[in-house]
């Protein structure tokens, strides 16, 4: 049984991570990601620790999903934009140098 424990922990962490995408708000998604990364680091499993570091490094893009969910299925294969879709995004997630601090900026991108 002790030989299977790391595999079992890795499996449960993987399954739990799938729940990240169903979090109902930016704040809940942020908290979930932070807690999941902490659990992965505490697991002591090298591959989970590496994944947690990668997720923290890409937290800005991951958390932006909670603001504007996108999937290739939403694009319907169109590469042209209608005039109404030229409106710039009004909120983006950003991270500070500390991986546990995530914020949302509601300012439009500069140059708009």
Domain range holding 27?
5-69+85-105
CA–chain centroid gap for 53, Å, is 12
Confidence tier at 67 by pLDDT (50, 70, 90): confident
69 confidence band (pLDDT: 50, 70, 90): confident
Q: Of the given ranges (22-36, 47-61, 90-104), which has the lowest mean pLDDT?
A: 90-104
Task: Single out the residue of 44, 58, 53, 55 nearest to residue 9, CA to CA.
Answer: 44
Give the pLDDT confidence of 87-106 residue by residue, as tens digits. 455 455 555 544 455 554 44
Q: Between the CA atoms of 60, 62, 66 and 70, what dihedral angle is there, to the nearest 10 degrees?
A: 120
Domain tally, the chain: 1
- In the predicted model, what is the mean pLDDT of residues 11-16? 96
pLDDT at 13 over 60: yes
| Residue 91 included in any domain | yes
Tell which residue, 53, 52, 65, has the closest CA to residue 21: 65
Six-digit token string for 85: 């879709």
Domain-located, residue 44: yes
């Amino acid at each position: 049984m002790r030989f299977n424990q790391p595999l079992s922990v890795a499996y449960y962490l993987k399954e739990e991570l799938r729940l990240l995408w169903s979090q109902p708000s930016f704040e809940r998604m942020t908290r979930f990601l932070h807690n999941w990364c902490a659990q992965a680091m505490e697991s002591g499993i090298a591959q989970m620790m590496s994944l947690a570091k990668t997720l923290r490094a890409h937290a800005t893009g991951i958390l932006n999903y909670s603001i504007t969910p996108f999937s290739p299925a939403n694009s319907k294969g169109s590469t042209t934009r209608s005039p109404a879709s030229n409106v710039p995004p009004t909120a983006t997630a950003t991270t500070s140098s500390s991986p546990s601090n995530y914020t949302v900026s509601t300012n439009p991108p500069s140059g708009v």
